[in-house]
Amino acid sequence: MCLSAPVSFAAAAILIPAGAGTVWTALRRDRRYAALAALPALFGLQQLMEGIVWITGAHGPPGASESFSLAYMFFAWIAWPVWVPVSVYFIEPYRRRSAYLVFAVVGGMLGSIQYLPYFAHEGWLSVTLLENAVVYRDEELLDAIIGRPQTYLLYVTVLIVPLVMSSDRDVRVFGGLVAAVLAVTVGFFQWAYISVFCFGGAVASLYLIWALRRKGPPRGQRVGAPA
């Protein structure tokens, strides 16, 4: 995030074990929420990658941070637009699930188009360390086709709409928090929007940890019984 390596490592140290514990709780109480419960841990892994980007970018040889920045962007472009709709898919009634599959497929296609060219074109992803920021600059394949604003609008739609249209109130609240993070990022942090938005999502995922841990098993099911 746009602060320092210790901030990213601290976020990882909190989110990874807390998220893993939440997954375990979900598996015991209501397995439908297990994929959603993994989101905080995945956010923690992404913050761990950014912490290493800070360290290798500041103290390593030229290009040392490249693989870790690619790992960070994997979460941004591939994991989130696929994992988010899929994780909501499992908790929705069957009649609503087909829409979430569509979001996941679109998200996977969009993310792949944006992410995979980094490996084919040297210099399409670069990282600049400022005093209190990591700035990811990239070339995007869709820039020449639909333009970056339209690309990001599609990305945000795939990421946030599945959350806010969920039948589960806690998921909708989480979607609202992510949307608020997006609004703040667009309004104040355009210069480091990728880093700030992902860190904001990590912070918002603390709500998921709290919300999912207080959920009981489905009505009529004992704790620990098969879902």
- Per residue in 68-81, pLDDT (tens digit) is 999 999 999 999 99
- CB-based contacts of 133, cutoff 8 Å, min separation 6: 2, 3, 191, 192, 195
Closest of 67, 23, 22, 63 to residue 49, by C-alpha: 67
Output the pLDDT for position 1: 47
pLDDT tens digits for range 187-227: 777 767 788 888 889 999 999 999 999 887 765 555 444 44
Residue 221 in any domain: the answer is no
Instruction: Output the pLDDT for position 226.
Output: 47
pLDDT bracket for residue 64 (50, 70, 90): confident
Q: Is residue 105 part of a domain?
A: yes
State the helix-helix crossing angle for 169-188 and 193-213, rounded to 10 degrees: 160
Mean pLDDT of 153-174: 95
Of 57-66, 140-149, 198-207, the least confident: 57-66
Range of the domain at 159: 5-213
Q: What are phi and psi of 134, to 5 degrees?
A: -105, 125
CB atoms within 10 A of CB 113: 15
Minimum mean pLDDT range among 88-97, 113-122, 143-152, 215-224? 215-224
Q: Are 81 and 105 in contact (CB under 8 A)?
A: no
Close Cβ partners of 212 (under 8 Å, ≥ 6 residues apart)? 22, 25, 26, 33, 36, 37, 170
Is residue 227, in this structure, part of any structural domain at all?
A: no
Across 169-188, b (16+ Cβ under 10 Å) vs e yields: ebbebbbebbbebbeebeee
Least confident range from 96-105, 118-127, 170-179: namely: 118-127
Residue scoring higher pLDDT (141 or 23): 23
> Within a domain: residue 225?
no
Specify whether the CB–CB gap between 160 and 182 falls below 8 A. Answer: yes
- Could you give the CA distance from residue 148 to residue 77 in angstroms, rounded to a whole number? 14
Where do runs of H (alpha helix) occur along 78-168? 80-89, 97-115, 117-120, 148-164
* Arithmetic mean of pLDDT over the chain: 88
Tokens representing 22? 């939440």
Residue 29 lies in a domain: yes
**Total domains present in the chain:** 1
Q: Quick one: what percent of the chain has pLDDT higher than 70? A: 93
Per-residue model confidence (pLDDT) at position 199:
85
For residue 121, what pLDDT is reported?
85
Which has the higher per-residue pLDDT, 225 or 30? 30
Domain assignment present for 220: no
Asked whether residue 12 is assigned to any structural domain, the reply reads yes
